[in-house]
Amino acid sequence: MSTKKTIRRREFMAASAGLAVAGLAASQRATAATAKLAIDGGAKAVTATSTAPPRFGAPELERLTEMVKQDALFYWKGPQTAIFKERFQAMCPLEHVMTCTSGTAALHIAVAATGLVPGDEVITSPITDVGTVIGIIYQQGVPVFADLGANTLTLDPADVERRITPRTKAIIAVHLAGNPSKMTELRAIADKHGLVLIEDACQAWGAKYRGKPIGTLGDIACWSLQNSKHITTGDGGVVASSHPVLGPKLQPFGDKGFNRSEGKWQGFSTNYRMSEPQAAVLAGQMTRLEGIASSRAKLGNLLNAEISGIPGITPHEVHAEDRCVYWLNMFRIDPAAFTVDRGQIYKALRAEGVPCSPGYIPVPVHRSDVFKNHAFFNGHWTIKEAGMTDMDYTKVETPEAEAILKTGMRVFIKEYMTEEQILQFAAGIRKVAAHYKA
Ligand SMILES: *Cc1c(COP(=O)(O)O)cnc(C)c1O
């Protein structure tokens, strides 16, 4: 067993170094093809387990203990909020940092700060949490969906550029799954056309683009603290920017339009303030982030290396100099390479013990009923009815995004998993792929 593990480790090292290990891979494939699937009564590929440690403990308790000694639990000049900001800026040195109630709120604040007016367009990803586009619609803007890279699952810059019109105001680059978007290309497009570049980093806490922290590449960046994200306050969000004009707008937009530094009400917006109890938990969570992000990056990369070269399977594509933090890892299945459909491959993988799930959201955002019916405001879409946009979501085509959702398989990576587990997930994928090979 230890020999097997050593060989797989060596294979991983060789694969990451780009060396050929064809002989080893071929013999391994032969073994995999003859092994009986767990779904047919064979032995499971995955036997290793790990236990999720508590997500909250001493660091959060320390902040909460200090917090209950305070006389006020309001965010402005709040000590817990201040400690969070210090810790956040140590990770991501952005000047203006506004805590808020959700990732959706963070994105709404960011969109409002762009200066978008009714009918303006914002180009973004059709595979994302709907929270990415909610703020655009509330500001009477028009979400425009561009297609994605087949294996990066992030915006295809060439398609973004094709969808630019005189009404385009901004681009929201979603770092889906924690994989940094193609920021050099998107930055160049944004600069060329005078657009604001927003980063949706809700799934990308701790990610890095060419060594730089995610959030420092665009003009404004947004994070979610919802329970499923890398770090959490149950619900919550952060929006931040170093932009000299846009940055100072974040605080008032999250606070009913009230500019607290200047003590004046300067505009119309809603209340998205985060209170001190949540900021205390958040400040504690920040001490865990680097460990969570680096572990997920290592485990997700290991899975990619282990499953690369399996016929019919294409691993998640991550740039070698980037740090993807794998909120999820998604490989794609070539339907022509297998005798069964994705549903059967999924069932077989689950039987082997691989924690996975087919696709992500059911359909691209614009294929949902709400979008197809343009039914945002109790069945109405004011700007369309007023002739301020001719957007028709039933006519929007993003073929790669459709294909990703039909042929993608999500593998759930957790920071506390062991390398042995990941190697066994890969063995399970290899075994199932070999068995159903067309
Ligand atoms: C979670 C998420 C959001 C929304 O965040 P909430 O805190 O749930 O409002 C937006 N975009 C992406 C990519 C997300 O994963």
- pLDDT on residue 31: 56
Print pLDDT tens along the chain (438 aa).
344 444 444 444 444 444 444 444 544 544 555 689 999 999 999 999 999 999 999 999 999 999 999 999 999 999 999 999 999 999 999 999 999 999 999 999 999 999 999 999 999 999 999 999 999 999 999 999 999 999 999 999 999 999 999 999 999 999 999 999 999 999 999 999 999 999 999 999 999 999 999 999 999 999 999 999 999 999 999 999 999 999 999 999 999 999 999 999 999 999 999 999 999 999 999 999 999 999 999 999 999 999 999 999 999 999 999 999 999 999 999 999 999 999 999 999 999 999 999 999 999 999 999 999 999 999 999 999 999 999 999 999 999 999 999 999 999 999 999 999 999 999 999 999 999 999
Question: Quick one: which atom of ligand 1 is closest to the CA of 235?
Answer: 7
**Amino acid residing at 336:** A
- pLDDT on residue 46: 98
If one residue of 226, 232, 238 were mutated to test the ligand 1 pocket, choosing by the most ligand atoms within 8 A of its CB, it would be 226
From 433, 396, 165, select the one nearest 307 (Cα to Cα): 433
Q: Which residue has the tokens 């997930």?
A: 425
- Could you tell me the two tokens for 352? 């082997």
CA of 131 to the centre of ligand 1 (A): 5
CA of 38 to the centre of ligand 1 (A): 36
CA of 105 to the centre of ligand 1 (A): 9
CATH 1.10.20.60 fits 58-285, yes or no: no
Question: Quick one: which atom of ligand 1 is closest to the CA of 229?
Answer: 1
Phi first, then psi: give them for residue 212, nearest 5 degrees: -95, 140
Question: Quick one: which atom of ligand 1 is closest to the CA of 228?
Answer: 1
CA of 308 to the centre of ligand 1 (A): 30
CA of 289 to the centre of ligand 1 (A): 18
Question: Quick one: which atom of ligand 1 is closest to the CA of 225?
Answer: 7
Question: Quick one: which atom of ligand 1 is closest to the CA of 176?
Answer: 13
If one residue of 104, 136, 214 were mutated to test the ligand 1 pocket, choosing by the most ligand atoms within 8 A of its CB, it would be 104
Question: Quick one: which atom of ligand 1 is closest to the CA of 128?
Answer: 13
For 7-25, letters b (16+ CB in 10 Å) and e give ebeebbeebeeeeebeeeb
What global pTM score does this model have? 0.93
- Could you tell me the two tokens for 423? 């190697």
CA of 296 to the centre of ligand 1 (A): 19
Inter-residue contact 302 to 12 (CB < 8 Å): yes
If one residue of 108, 124, 129, 330 were mutated to test the ligand 1 pocket, choosing by the most ligand atoms within 8 A of its CB, it would be 129
CA of 68 to the centre of ligand 1 (A): 30
Q: Which residue has the tokens 């200090």?
A: 66
With a Cβ cut-off of 6 Å, ligand 1 is lined by: 102-104, 128-129, 131-132, 174, 200, 202-203, 224, 226, 237
* 406: exposed, middle or buried (Cβ count in 10 Å: 0-12, 13-18, 19+): middle
If one residue of 224, 232, 235, 361 were mutated to test the ligand 1 pocket, choosing by the most ligand atoms within 8 A of its CB, it would be 224
Nearest CA to ligand 1 atom 6: 103
Inter-residue contact 170 to 111 (CB < 8 Å): yes
Residue 59 CB neighbour total at 10 angstroms = 16
- pLDDT on residue 35: 87
CA of 203 to the centre of ligand 1 (A): 7
**Alpha carbons 282 and 290: distance in angstroms, whole number:** 14
CA distances from 429 to 45, 184, 215, 313 (A): 9, 34, 34, 9
